[in-house]
């Protein structure tokens, strides 16, 4: 029995090690392929794509102590798009395999992403009202009591609701906008809202949420989607203070309900002066200077409405997320100038579009993050879902 | 998506599936071997018909388990005296039940001892007093204020505390890495060792995610079972998949081994199931699976003579109230007990790897809910996470 146990134990350890190595290299490879695909498209469309060899080698030298694989495609892509010459651009493969897992505790952070408990976790009136919340198969009221769900929202005063998964959703997938049509709620795809529909579509863990009528400043970019500000915060490893490190505006494609880039949307950078940068980019690498069928000219460099207030709220809410040093908040401003938090992201944060429009991801904090990751690299854990 | 990326994704998916399958295969194998060995020791001429064994296998063959350990059935039926096909195989539980009825993606957050106070609302008074905690590398005091100089904070405990409990706040099980420090000549040291409680020691031992708490003193009634450990009840609550109502499944009293500071089974402790009437089970089990009718290591404490356990009804009622705070898990194990001031205390919330061994003594783990759990787990998709270190 002891010998069998020893042999089986050895075999299992070998398999684990193999899976760990495999997942490590596959992650790097997938990031590299993705970066190369975008870079190829950008090369075709951009006029100036030459990046100095010195800058490429400086970028490689900067990140090499953290990871031996430093692909050139990322520095080329980000430099060509932003025009910023800096070795601090973070290669995506290093971010996903090393930096994020070291700064955020992935095994715990999923719970903090759950949209069904977002208003229970935080104080303040920053959240769209949740009419139905299904948490692991059970329906709860706003006060946390177990209830039988009913499709009567806001005593009949509500005309539109958003239905979406509350855990583990990405890229705006499975989000439906339902509009009241007589006694029924119908979405663009023709589905009729019912408990059976939601349970068959999502199984469990979903919410029915108030539709946000956004402020005219944000709706001018695309009226069909709620266009959100992605605010990225960082809790410094040096002094534990929260800093807003990046803000971008995400704009849905014409007719889309969601603003995600993976659903065809555009991303516009926002500069340190609080103004929108002069171009927007989509997932395919198409760069435009005008949005909303030419009605919004990004070359005008408009100041973002209520940006400072949004940043303050992000810093306030980030205080509670102690297990994650990096957070991505999706904020919008409603027609009554109320700031609403749509979701908090703490895992697999999309960073490509941020560096494509704003420059190096961590800015002045790059050195401390790099040093911290170097020091704590031995802590890296791998998990398989 | 490009063909290259698709290929990489598919390769990664295949490697995940393979690793998961191998993990469960070795788990199944060891579950079978463990019960084979126990059955060899206790069989003692007991006979089970092939139909009975077949019925048991059929009951669980829907699961993802590669092996149904039929000797588990024989062991449970022999010891508990109940011949029911509802005895839940450990590997089936781990493969096909826990990942469905509890959201494992989310449940880790609820097991973070450093943040119980945020989770439990008005029930946070049941928690032991936390003096210092480290969450993801950040130090906080018991009130949740950030601590700039944790070394100074540790030194300050000398004034008011005699003993301190230090333990990891996440990723801990079985009483591993739990330390009790005693005041000794103006510093805190481990019993019979010169190891001193310092910030340097804490960071070397845990790196991050740990708590320093006051040591709970237990009620005299529970102290009689073992003086050195805080003997807790593991209370299992279940939110029914049929009506979403909370039910109490089992309660087991865990008793530490003599001189041990923890009561965990893995550290040599024992568990005795509590009957629905609130009395301890008529027998306890030794490691050899031999039945004894007294508290282990305390022959003078006859189980049948102890009567109803002190405040057991209040503990059960409180566990049901606490389960309301953990909506992502239908099955929860609370570690609770009574302190010397007669107050109910909550030591830990367990949402994964809860341990279903209580069924050996008292009968099928899910009891009357077995069928609904099976139907639900057959129907719903599991979310499983394996950590690879």
Query: A interface mutation test: which of B7, B15, B386 has the most A CBs within 10 A?
Result: B15
Is A322 within 8 Å of B115 when comparing Cβ atoms? Answer: yes
Residue B267 structure tokens: 């550290």
Q: B240 with B201, same domain? A: no
- CB-side neighbour CA atoms (13 Å) of B100: 22
In a domain, A22, yes or no: yes
Residue A227 structure tokens: 């266009």
Residue B242 structure tokens: 């049929």
Distance between first and last Cα of chain B: 31
Residue A133 structure tokens: 């919340």
Residues 6+ apart with CB under 8 A from A287: A42, A45, A46, A81, A279, A280, A281
Residue A327 structure tokens: 């957070």
Distance from CA of A379 to the nearest CA of B (A): 9
Is B108 within 8 Å of A385 when comparing Cβ atoms? Answer: no
Is B22 within 8 Å of A12 when comparing Cβ atoms? Answer: yes
In a domain, A94, yes or no: yes
Q: Which residues pair with A209 in a beta bridge?
A: A130, A162
Q: Which residues pair with B233 in a beta bridge?
A: B253, B336
Residue pair A245/A190 in contact (Cβ under 8 Å)? The answer is no
For CA atoms B1, B3, B4, B7, the dihedral sign is positive
Task: Please list, residue by residue across A75-114, b when 16 or more beta carbons sit within 10 angstroms of its beta carbon and e when fewer do.
Answer: bbbbbbbbeeebbbbbbbbbbbbbbbbbbbbbbbbbbbbb
Is B5 within 8 Å of A34 when comparing Cβ atoms? Answer: yes
Tens-digit pLDDT profile for chain B (389 aa)?
567 667 767 776 777 777 778 778 888 888 898 899 999 988 877 889 999 999 999 999 999 888 999 999 999 999 999 999 999 999 999 889 999 999 887 877 888 888 899 889 899 999 999 999 999 889 999 888 999 899 999 989 888 889 999 999 987 777 788 899 999 888 899 987 888 999 999 999 998 899 999 999 999 999 999 988 889 999 999 999 999 999 999 999 999 888 887 777 777 788 899 999 999 999 988 877 888 899 888 889 898 999 999 999 999 999 999 999 999 999 999 999 999 999 999 999 999 888 898 899 999 999 999 999 999 999 887 766 665 55
Nearest to A105 among B19, B136, B380 (CB): B136
Residues 6+ apart with CB under 8 A from A272: none
In a domain, B377, yes or no: no
Closest to A251 (Cα-Cα) out of A274, A272, A270, A236: A270
Distance from CA of B244 to the nearest CA of A (A): 6
Distance from CA of A323 to the nearest CA of B (A): 5
Which of B199, B214, B229 delimits the end of a domain? B214
Q: Which residues in chain B are closer than 8 Å to A237, comparing Cβ atoms?
A: 137
Q: Could you count the other beta carbons within 10 Å of the beta carbon of residue A215?
A: 19
* pLDDT per residue as tens digits for the range B342-364: 999 999 999 988 889 889 999 99
Q: A218 with A188, same domain? A: no
Separation CA A381–CA B358 (nearest Å): 32
Nearest to B110 among A109, A111, A140 (CB): A111
Looking at residue B295, its pLDDT comes to 87
Separation CA A383–CA A110 (nearest Å): 13
In a domain, A375, yes or no: no
Nearest to A33 among B5, B118, B385 (CB): B5
Closest to B59 (Cα-Cα) out of B385, B384, B378: B378
Q: A73 with A43, same domain? A: yes
Nearest residue of chain B to residue A204 (CA atoms)? B380
Distance from CA of A345 to the nearest CA of B (A): 14
Q: A90 with A21, same domain? A: yes
Residue B287: C-alpha distances to residues B78, B230, B233, B269, B330 (Å): 16, 21, 19, 10, 30
Closest to A96 (Cα-Cα) out of A302, A340, A382: A382
Closest to B173 (Cα-Cα) out of B267, B287, B35: B267
In a domain, B357, yes or no: no
DSSP A9-38: HHHHHHHHHHHHHHHHHHHHHHHHHHHHHH
In a domain, B278, yes or no: yes
Which of B183, B214, B245 delimits the end of a domain? B214
Is B109 within 8 Å of A323 when comparing Cβ atoms? Answer: yes
Separation CA B205–CA B190 (nearest Å): 14
Residue pair A174/A201 in contact (Cβ under 8 Å)? The answer is yes
Nearest to B12 among A26, A240, A381 (CB): A26
In a domain, B282, yes or no: yes
- What SS3 state is found at B142? coil
Nearest residue of chain B to residue A117 (CA atoms)? B327
Q: B134 with B207, same domain? A: yes
In a domain, A30, yes or no: yes
Separation CA A306–CA B305 (nearest Å): 71
Q: Which residues in chain A are closer than 8 Å to B138, comparing Cβ atoms?
A: 235, 240, 322
- Specify the residue for token string 């005309």: A159
Residue pair B163/B169 in contact (Cβ under 8 Å)? The answer is no
In a domain, A378, yes or no: no
Q: Which residues in chain B are closer than 8 Å to A203, comparing Cβ atoms?
A: 380-381
Separation CA B110–CA A111 (nearest Å): 8
Q: B207 with B228, same domain? A: no
Residue A302 structural domain: 108-119+214-369
Q: B200 with B244, same domain? A: no
Count of residues making up chain A: 385
Q: B174 with B241, same domain? A: no
Q: A235 with A176, same domain? A: no
Query: A interface mutation test: which of B105, B332, B379, B385 has the most A CBs within 10 A?
Result: B105
Closest to A249 (Cα-Cα) out of A233, A272, A228: A228
Residue B205 structural domain: 129-214
Q: B206 with B233, same domain? A: no
Q: A101 with A114, same domain? A: no
Q: B345 with B227, same domain? A: yes
Residue B264: C-alpha distances to residues B268, B297, B348 (Å): 7, 16, 12
Query: A interface mutation test: which of B20, B120, B326, B388 has the most A CBs within 10 A?
Result: B388
CATH number of residue B299's parent domain? 3.30.470.20
Separation CA A368–CA A362 (nearest Å): 10
Q: Which residues in chain B are closer than 8 Å to A383, comparing Cβ atoms?
A: 385-388
Is B108 within 8 Å of A322 when comparing Cβ atoms? Answer: no
Kind of pairing between the strands at A326-333 and A339-345: antiparallel
Distance from CA of A130 to the nearest CA of B (A): 16
Nearest to B105 among A26, A168, A237 (CB): A168
Q: A242 with A345, same domain? A: yes
Residue B9 structure tokens: 């994704």
Q: Which residues in chain A are closer than 8 Å to B327, comparing Cβ atoms?
A: 117, 135-136, 138, 140, 144
Q: Which residues in chain B are closer than 8 Å to A29, comparing Cβ atoms?
A: 8
Is B109 within 8 Å of A382 when comparing Cβ atoms? Answer: no
Total domain count for chain B?
Answer: 3
Closest to A316 (Cα-Cα) out of A164, A123, A148, A135: A123
In a domain, B380, yes or no: no
- CB-side neighbour CA atoms (13 Å) of B39: 18
Residue pair A60/A76 in contact (Cβ under 8 Å)? The answer is no
Nearest residue of chain B to residue A200 (CA atoms)? B380
In a domain, B93, yes or no: no
Q: Which residues in chain A are closer than 8 Å to B110, comparing Cβ atoms?
A: 111
- CB-side neighbour CA atoms (13 Å) of B186: 0
Q: Could you count the other beta carbons within 10 Å of the beta carbon of residue B378?
A: 11
Q: B208 with B229, same domain? A: no
Is A385 within 8 Å of B385 when comparing Cβ atoms? Answer: yes
Q: B247 with B192, same domain? A: no
Q: B207 with B240, same domain? A: no
Total domain count for chain A?
Answer: 3
Q: B341 with B266, same domain? A: yes
Separation CA A241–CA A237 (nearest Å): 8
Q: A79 with A36, same domain? A: yes
In a domain, A53, yes or no: yes
Burial group, residue A50, by CB count within 10 angstroms (0-12, 13-18, 19+): exposed
Q: Could you count the other beta carbons within 10 Å of the beta carbon of residue A246?
A: 22
Tens-digit pLDDT profile for chain A (385 aa)?
567 777 777 776 777 777 777 777 888 888 898 888 888 888 887 766 678 889 999 999 999 999 999 999 999 999 999 999 999 999 999 999 899 999 998 878 778 888 999 888 888 889 999 999 999 999 998 888 899 998 888 888 889 999 999 987 776 678 899 999 888 999 988 999 999 999 999 988 999 999 999 999 999 999 989 999 999 999 999 989 999 999 999 999 888 888 888 788 999 999 999 999 999 998 888 889 998 888 889 888 999 999 999 999 999 999 989 999 999 999 999 999 999 999 999 988 889 899 999 999 999 999 999 999 999 888 776 655 5
In a domain, B308, yes or no: yes
Q: A246 with A358, same domain? A: yes
Q: A92 with A135, same domain? A: no
Is B4 within 8 Å of A33 when comparing Cβ atoms? Answer: yes
In a domain, A379, yes or no: no
Q: A114 with A260, same domain? A: yes
Q: Which residues in chain B are closer than 8 Å to A135, comparing Cβ atoms?
A: 327-328
ipTM above 0.90, yes or no: no
Q: A179 with A203, same domain? A: yes
In a domain, A264, yes or no: yes
Q: A91 with A140, same domain? A: no
Separation CA B107–CA B101 (nearest Å): 11
Which of B85, B119, B145 delimits the end of a domain? B85
For CA atoms A89, A92, A94, A97, the dihedral sign is positive
Is A19 within 8 Å of B138 when comparing Cβ atoms? Answer: no
Nearest to A16 among B5, B140, B388 (CB): B388
Kind of pairing between the strands at B270-274 and B210-214: unpaired
Q: Could you count the other beta carbons within 10 Å of the beta carbon of residue B114?
A: 23
Q: B65 with B152, same domain? A: no
Residue A379 structure tokens: 């802590």
In a domain, B115, yes or no: no
- What SS3 state is found at A134? strand
Which of A181, A210, A239 delimits the end of a domain? A210
Distance from CA of B5 to the nearest CA of A (A): 6
Q: For chain B, how long is the longest CA-to-CA vector?
A: 74
Separation CA B347–CA A36 (nearest Å): 51
């Amino acid at each position: 029995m002891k010998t069998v146990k020893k042999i089986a134990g050895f075999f299992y350890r070998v398999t684990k090690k193999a899976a760990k190595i495999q997942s490590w290299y596959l992650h790097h490879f997938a990031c590299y392929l993705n970066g190369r695909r975008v870079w190829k498209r950008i090369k075709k469309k951009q006029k100036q794509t030459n990046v100095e060899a010195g800058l490429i080698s400086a970028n490689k030298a900067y990140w090499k102590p953290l990871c031996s694989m430093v692909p050139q495609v990322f520095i080329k892509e980000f430099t060509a798009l932003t025009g910023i010459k800096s070795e601090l651009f973070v290669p995506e493969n290093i971010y996903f395999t090393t930096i994020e897992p070291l700064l955020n505790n992935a095994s715990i952070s999923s719970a903090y992403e759950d949209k069904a408990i977002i208003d229970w976790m935080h104080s303040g009136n920053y959240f769209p009202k949740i009419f139905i919340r299904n948490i692991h198969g059970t329906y709860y009221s706003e006060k946390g009591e177990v209830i039988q769900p009913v499709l009567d929202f806001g005593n009949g005063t509500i005309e539109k609701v958003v239905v979406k998964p509350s855990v583990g959703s990405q890229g705006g997938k499975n989000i439906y906008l339902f509009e009241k049509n007589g006694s029924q709620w119908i979405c663009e795809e023709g589905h009729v809202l019912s408990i059976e529909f939601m349970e068959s579509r999502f199984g469990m863990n979903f919410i029915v949420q108030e539709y946000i009528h956004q402020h005219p400043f944000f709706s001018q970019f695309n009226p069909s989607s709620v266009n959100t500000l992605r605010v990225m915060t960082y809790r410094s490893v040096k002094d534990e203070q929260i800093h807003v490190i990046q803000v971008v505006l995400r704009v849905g494609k014409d007719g889309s309900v969601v603003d995600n880039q993976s659903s065809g949307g555009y991303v516009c950078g926002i500069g340190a002066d609080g103004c929108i940068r002069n171009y927007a980019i989509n997932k395919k690498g198409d760069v435009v200077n005008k949005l909303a069928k030419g009605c919004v000219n990004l070359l005008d460099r408009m100041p973002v409405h209520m940006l400072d207030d949004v940043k303050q709220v992000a810093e306030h809410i980030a205080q509670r997320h102690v297990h994650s040093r990096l957070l991505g908040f999706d904020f919008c401003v409603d027609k009554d100038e109320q700031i609403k938090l749509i979701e908090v992201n703490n895992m697999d944060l999309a960073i490509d579009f941020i560096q494509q429009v704003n420059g190096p991801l961590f800015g002045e904090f790059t050195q401390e993050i790099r040093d911290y990751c170097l020091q704590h690299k031995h802590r890296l854990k791998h998990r398989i879902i | 998506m490009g063909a290259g990326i698709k290929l990489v994704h598919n390769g990664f998916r295949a490697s995940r599936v393979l690793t998961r399958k191998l993990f469960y295969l070795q788990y199944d194998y060891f579950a079978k071997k463990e019960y084979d060995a126990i059955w060899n020791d206790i069989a003692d001429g007991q006979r089970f018909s092939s139909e009975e064994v077949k019925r048991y296998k059929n009951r669980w063959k829907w699961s993802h388990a590669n092996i149904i350990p039929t000797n588990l059935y024989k062991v449970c039926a022999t010891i508990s005296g109940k011949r029911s096909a509802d005895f839940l195989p450990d590997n089936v539980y781990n493969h096909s039940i826990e990942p469905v009825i509890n959201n494992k993606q989310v449940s880790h957050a609820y097991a973070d001892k450093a943040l119980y106070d945020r989770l439990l609302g008005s029930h946070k008074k049941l928690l032991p007093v936390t003096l210092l905690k480290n969450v993801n590398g950040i130090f906080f005091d018991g009130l949740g204020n950030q601590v700039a100089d944790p070394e100074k904070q540790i030194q300050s405990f000398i004034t008011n505390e005699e003993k301190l409990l230090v333990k990891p706040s996440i990723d801990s099980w079985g009483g591993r890495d739990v330390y009790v420090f005693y005041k000794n000549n103006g510093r805190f040291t481990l019993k019979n060792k010169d190891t001193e409680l310092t910030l340097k020691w804490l960071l070397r031992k845990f790196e991050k995610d740990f708590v320093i708490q006051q040591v709970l003193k237990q009620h005299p009634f529970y102290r009689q079972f073992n003086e050195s450990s805080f003997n807790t009840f593991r209370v299992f609550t279940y939110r029914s998949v049929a009506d979403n109502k909370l039910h109490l499944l089992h309660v087991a009293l865990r008793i530490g081994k003599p001189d041990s500071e923890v009561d965990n089974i893995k550290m040599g402790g024992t568990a005795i199931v509590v009957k629905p009437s609130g009395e301890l089970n008529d027998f306890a089990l030794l490691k050899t699976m031999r039945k004894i009718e007294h508290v282990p290591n305390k022959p003078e404490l006859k189980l049948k003579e102890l009567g109803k356990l002190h405040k057991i009804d209040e503990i059960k009622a409180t566990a049901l109230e606490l389960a309301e705070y953990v909506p992502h898990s239908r099955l929860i194990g609370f570690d609770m007990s009574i302190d010397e001031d007669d107050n109910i205390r909550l030591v830990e919330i367990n949402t994964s790897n809860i341990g279903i061994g209580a069924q050996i003594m008292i009968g099928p783990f899910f009891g009357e809910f077995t069928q609904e759990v099976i139907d639900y787990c057959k129907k719903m998709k599991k979310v499983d996470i394996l950590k690879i270190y």
